[in-house]
Amino acid sequence: MINVVLLGCGNVASQLYDAFSAPSNAAVKVVQVYGRSAKKLLPFQQKTPVTTDLQQLTEADLYLIAVSDEAVISVSDRIPGEGKLIAHTSGTVTMHAMNKLHHRGVFYPLQTFTKGVSLDFETIPLCLEAENEENYILMDKIAQSISSHVIPLKADKRRHLHMAAVFANNFTNQLYRMAHEICEEHRLEFDLLRPLILETAQKVQRTSPFVAQTGPAKRGDVKTIEKHLELLSTKEQKEIYTLLTHRIAKIYGKEL
Amino acid sequence: MINVVLLGCGNVASQLYDAFSAPSNAAVKVVQVYGRSAKKLLPFQQKTPVTTDLQQLTEADLYLIAVSDEAVISVSDRIPGEGKLIAHTSGTVTMHAMNKLHHRGVFYPLQTFTKGVSLDFETIPLCLEAENEENYILMDKIAQSISSHVIPLKADKRRHLHMAAVFANNFTNQLYRMAHEICEEHRLEFDLLRPLILETAQKVQRTSPFVAQTGPAKRGDVKTIEKHLELLSTKEQKEIYTLLTHRIAKIYGKEL
């Protein structure tokens, strides 16, 4: 059994806790959860020892820091002692930014975490980095216990992957938001778009976005594009519409 | 039994054909399929009478024109006789652009159709418009036989809905494409992003995009944003990144 101390009690920490604590997981045990707020530790308290004091950390094979990007370094700096294996879950923080008295690593789950929505870790890519092979092997065992998609990924690639994820998740969601705004403005139910949104994402599970592309820009349908630019009510909407439309048209060799 | 002649043999026509012809559908029968190309009619030929000649159309309660936006008007103009009920499946063409010798309507399924990917029509919104109540009632029966999400929608609203769908589908897919490009450039598997893309879409099935938003722009995380702008390799990527980032930051009251 590999013992893990989990530092953090937000969405990522909760989901990791649940995945490690699943009855099917015989490889890993969460032996303690650390959090700044006693209140946020309450959900863990009935199941696992908890602490709000970093001086009281239990011995473990891995200290997994699942806190916000901004807090990773300061938490790592306050982990007492030396030579422990510590890893964070951030896509943006480098391994070497953490406390150099310890062995450092990265345990980055590429997914969007939402409060109260439990995810199946099995399909979530876990991107690992460690300072030496021994540490990597241990982290790999821990990762394999919850996901079947574990890969080694160095800082530079992780940074680019995180940036790609900003497009695939943050920006995509903002386009949903823009569609929502158009619906609200014209008293249309956003519900009408939900099946389309889901199918759009499902389509690229099987094919590439290049193949999946459809729409007026791809067809070079200037009439519809002009109509849309008339219908859009803000400068910002028009700018985003124009930029993405020109990009699509260019890729598919259409002149607008 | 309501008799329908289907005009078209592309993705939308095929999927409508399958939905109408499902054993569970006792209300509607496709009595004929029209297509310009005898070859494209082959898949239908074994199951239903087909024709490549608009002069040979069978009598039916509805002539459903499921062809490309550009071809709708010309097909409608060549439907012989008068007083028939004809409807198209386009989000952008107005009902009144069609042949005025007939009763005209719109039967717009809000979804993205891909060759070879069969969809469950049950959840697909069908937006209907007709010139009179009698026609509407008939089209509504036909629509209800395949979907549980049927609504009346006039031209003006349909146009806006179609535009919202361009954001939710076409532009979203283009952002997947941009993420794919970043992956290719840095030798990262696009597969790593697929679970994230799916969860991003699934999230807004349960909540609003406003609530679902995450990421550096929402947090006002200037350091990460600046780093990303350095990492992006083309002017176009930077422009789209900047526009969407500023939009998100503004919505959540963050200064960049």
Domain with residue A192: its CATH number is: 1.10.1040.20
Same domain, A65 and A143: yes
For residues A223-240, average pLDDT: 95
User: Which of B136, B153, B170 is a domain's end point?
Assistant: B153
pLDDT at position A115 over 90: no
Per-residue confidence band for A39, with pLDDT thresholds at 50, 70 and 90: very high
pLDDT at position A5 over 80: yes
Query: In sequence order, which residues have a C-beta less than 8 Å from that of residue A5 and are 6 or more positions away?
Result: A30, A31, A32, A33, A34, A57, A58, A60, A62, A63, A64
H or E stretch including B127? strand B126-130
pLDDT at position A141 over 80: yes
Given a contact cutoff of 8 angstroms between Cβ atoms, the answer to whether A61 and A138 are in contact is: yes
Same domain, B122 and B247: no
**What domain range includes position B230?**
158-251
Same domain, A170 and A99: no
Tens of pLDDT along A82-109?
999 999 999 999 999 999 999 999 999 9
User: Which of A118, A153, A188 is a domain's end point?
Assistant: A153
* Residue listed under structure tokens 């597969």: B191
Same domain, B112 and B54: yes
Q: Sign (positive/negative) of CA torsion B200, B205, B210, B212?
A: negative
Per-residue confidence band for B256, with pLDDT thresholds at 50, 70 and 90: confident
Quote the number of domains for chain A: 2
Same domain, B33 and B127: yes
Judged by CB atoms within 8 Å, which residues 140-159 of A form the interface with B? Answer: 149, 151, 156-157, 159
Query: In sequence order, which residues have a C-beta less than 8 Å from that of residue A88 and are 6 or more positions away?
Result: A64, A65, A66, A67, A72, A76, A95, A98, A106, A107
Residue A71 near chain B (CB below 8 Å) = no
Quick one: what percent of chain A has pLDDT higher than 70?
100
- The pair of three-digit structure tokens given for residue B204, joined into one six-digit string: 């807004």
pLDDT at position A117 over 80: no
Tens of pLDDT along B46-92?
999 999 999 999 999 999 999 999 999 999 999 999 999 999 999 99
Quote the pLDDT of residue A118.
79
Quote the pLDDT of residue B119.
85
Closest CA to B126 of B96, B88, B94: B88
**Three-class SS of residue B167?**
helix
Quick one: what percent of chain B has pLDDT higher than 90?
95
Same domain, A194 and A236: yes
Question: Does A256 fall in a domain?
Answer: no
CATH code of the domain covering residue B142: 3.40.50.720
Q: What strand order describes the sheet that includes B2-7?
A: B50-51, B28-34, B2-7, B62-65, B85-88, B103-109, B126-130, B150-152
H or E stretch including A154? none
Residues of chain B in contact with residue A238, where contact means CB-CB under 8 angstroms, are none
Quote the pLDDT of residue A124.
96
pLDDT at position B157 over 90: yes
Question: Does B221 fall in a domain?
Answer: yes
CB atoms < 10 A from the CB of A244, how many?
A: 27
- The pair of three-digit structure tokens given for residue B141, joined into one six-digit string: 């029966």
Given a contact cutoff of 8 angstroms between Cβ atoms, the answer to whether B126 and B101 are in contact is: no
Quick one: what percent of chain A has pLDDT higher than 90?
95
Residues of chain A in contact with residue B244, where contact means CB-CB under 8 angstroms, are 170-171, 174, 240
Tens of pLDDT along A143-188?
999 999 999 999 999 999 999 999 999 999 999 999 999 999 999 9
**Chosen from B70, B170, B229 to mutate, greatest number of chain A CBs within 10 A:** B170
Closest CA to B8 of B53, B68, B60: B68
Residue B214 near chain A (CB below 8 Å) = yes
Question: Does B256 fall in a domain?
Answer: no
Rounded CA separation A95/A111 (Å): 19
Quote the pLDDT of residue B182.
98
Same domain, B104 and B197: no
Same domain, B48 and B69: yes
Cross-strand bridge partners of residue A105: A87, A130
Rounded CA separation A9/A52 (Å): 11
Quote the pLDDT of residue A119.
85
**Chosen from B68, B151, B174, B222 to mutate, greatest number of chain A CBs within 10 A:** B174
End-to-end CA distance of chain A: 62
Question: Does A182 fall in a domain?
Answer: yes
Q: Can you tell me the ipTM of this complex? A: 0.95
Instruction: Tell me whether strands A85-88 and A28-34 are parallel, antiparallel or unpaired.
Output: unpaired
pLDDT at position B116 over 90: no
Quote the pLDDT of residue B113.
86
Residues of chain B in contact with residue A195, where contact means CB-CB under 8 angstroms, are 110-111, 123-125, 149
Task: Kindly determine whether residue B165 and residue A124, on different chains, have CB atoms separated by under 8 Å.
Answer: no
Rounded CA separation B134/B126 (Å): 18
Per-residue confidence band for B158, with pLDDT thresholds at 50, 70 and 90: very high
Same domain, A228 and A200: yes
Residue of chain B nearest A127, judged by CA positions: B192
pLDDT at position B18 over 90: yes
pLDDT at position A56 over 90: yes
Task: Kindly determine whether residue A202 and residue B206, on different chains, have CB atoms separated by under 8 Å.
Answer: no
Per-residue confidence band for B115, with pLDDT thresholds at 50, 70 and 90: confident
Tens of pLDDT along A42-54?
999 999 999 999 9
Question: Does B179 fall in a domain?
Answer: yes
Question: Does B217 fall in a domain?
Answer: yes
For residues B237-253, average pLDDT: 97
Quote the pLDDT of residue B114.
78
Query: In sequence order, which residues have a C-beta less than 8 Å from that of residue A71 and are 6 or more positions away?
Result: none
Quote the pLDDT of residue A231.
96
Quote the pLDDT of residue A256.
85
Rounded CA separation A225/B136 (Å): 30
Question: Does A7 fall in a domain?
Answer: yes
DSSP state of A140: H
Residue A8 zone, left/alpha/beta (φ > 0; ψ -120 to 50; rest) = left
Task: Kindly determine whether residue B179 and residue A187, on different chains, have CB atoms separated by under 8 Å.
Answer: no
End-to-end CA distance of chain B: 62
Question: Does A223 fall in a domain?
Answer: yes
Same domain, B215 and B117: no
Quote the pLDDT of residue B31.
98
User: Which of A106, A126, A153 is a domain's end point?
Assistant: A153
For residues A193-202, average pLDDT: 97
CB atoms < 10 A from the CB of B1, how many?
A: 9
Same domain, A204 and A168: yes
Rounded CA separation A131/B248 (Å): 36
Per-residue confidence band for B38, with pLDDT thresholds at 50, 70 and 90: very high
Residue A235 near chain B (CB below 8 Å) = no
Task: Kindly determine whether residue A205 and residue B197, on different chains, have CB atoms separated by under 8 Å.
Answer: yes
Same domain, A97 and A59: yes
Rounded CA separation A252/B40 (Å): 24
Per-residue confidence band for B29, with pLDDT thresholds at 50, 70 and 90: very high
Cross-strand bridge partners of residue A65: A7, A88
Residue of chain A nearest B245, judged by CA positions: A171
Residues of chain B in contact with residue A123, where contact means CB-CB under 8 angstroms, are 195
Rounded CA separation A193/B137 (Å): 24
What is the DSSP annotation of A45-76?
HTTS-EES-GGGPPP-SEEEE-S-GGGHHHHH
